[in-house]
Amino acid sequence: MASEQLEKIFKNNEEWIAQQLDKDPSYFKTLGEGQEPNILYIGCSDSRVTAEEVMGLHPGEVFVHRNIANMVISTDLSAQSVITFAVKHLKVKEIVVCGHTCCGGVKAAMQPQDLGLLNPWLRNIRDVYRLHKEELNAITDEDAKYNRLVELNVQEQCVNVIKTAEVQKASAERGLRVHGWVFDVKSGKLIDLKIDFDSVLAKIKEIYTFTS
């Protein structure tokens, strides 16, 4: 027997269907005809950060991939498949990597703990710390250090997106753009980090460039 919470979900679903049809009788017919999102959103699995709701968008307007701490890892076939499909087949125009404050994954990576199966995943965040160790160690306030690591992790995952061949090709051919954002859980605000990718990529571009 389903729990009360699950039963409520199905009731909520029926109410949602009725609301959508009341506003637009052809709503689900239109959804069934396909999707043409302009945005690929790569975010965290945290239950407090829901992509469409945070951005005020609707089903069909954004293609979404989520995992712990919004990581883009070259060996993660799930993330790489999503990027390839979104760029090559859906022809998205923007890719957003969105981290958030109070991120449990980033915080866990800052702690000297053995977390079992999570260790290999969190190691990628620790690698971000290693790359920016001098800057982070200079920050004495732990909360400020934590928030800065959230930002730097977004930056490095954006770089990982840009390293992919499909993204480079689409950027050169049709102006695909990559953005780094942070969602402030305590205020509800989306913050554009306005990352200067020309500066960030200056020393590594020749190593990872696939297109001439």
Residues identified as active-site: 44, 46, 48, 100, 103
Question: What single string gives the DSSP state of each residue in 69-84?
Answer: T----TT-HHHHHHHH
Cα 138 to its chain centre, rounded Å, is: 27
Q: What is d(CA 94, CA 36) in angstroms, rounded to the nearest whole number? A: 12
Output 17-22 pairs: Cβ under 8 A, ≥24 positions apart. none
DSSP 201: H
Query: Which residues are bridge partners to 96 per DSSP?
Result: 41, 179
Q: Are 136 and 129 in contact (CB under 8 A)?
A: yes
| Cβ neighbours around 80 below 10 Å, total | 17
CA distances (Å), 50 to each of 32, 42, 65, 100, in order? 22, 11, 11, 11
Q: Are 123 and 105 in contact (CB under 8 A)?
A: no
